[in-house]
Amino acid sequence: MDRISKENYYLDIAETVLERATCLRRIYGAIIVKNDEIISTGYNGAPRGRANCSTLGYCSREAMRVPRGERYELCRSVHAEANAIISASRRDMAGGTIYLVGRDARTGELLADATSCSMCRRLVINAGLARVVIRRTKTEFDVVPVTNWVVEDDLLVPRDPDAILNEQ
């Protein structure tokens, strides 16, 4: 009998977690694992006690015509990575791995372009996680060292090197 890889094993679990998500656009599931132990899970949905988009029947960002990938502060949902991180202690997850799976809420198709938004990347960095494993297909995935997200600071404004030299 062929065994699946540990990465796909954990990604399968994260994919089951996303079945609790309540977003009408993209649904995500995440699990944090350290030393072969699941530390926490998370999926995207409204904060506890607030109405979910699936209950309301509309997406507030779509209603405001916000393009995908922009203005996440207008989203009702807490993202899967954030929910997994707030459900664990830093001491338990530092050095661990977060596994992430996304699906299109309408079609159910896996999101080959799934990734963490810039806000969640900051949370992953501060949580002390070492790796992010993101499902691309049923068997393929990318492994992202979190140090890449530290070095590739998405909030730095590119500057003209000549302008910097002229300032000195």
Options 15, 37, 73, 81, the catalytic residue: 81
Structure confidence by residue, pLDDT tens digits, 55-79:
989 988 888 998 877 888 888 899 9
DSSP the chain: -PPPPHHHHHHHHHHHHGGG---SSEEEEEEEEETTEEEEEEE-BPPTTSPPHHHHTS-HHHHTTPPTTS-GGG-SPBPHHHHHHHTS-HHHHTT-EEEEEEEETTT--B-TT----HHHHHHHHHHT--EEEEESSSS-EEEEEHHHHHHS-TTSPP--HHHHHHH-
Q: Is 19 labeled as catalytic in the residue annotation?
A: no
* pLDDT tens digits for range 90-118: 999 999 999 999 999 999 999 999 999 88
Task: Give the predicted TM-score (pTM) of the model.
Answer: 0.88
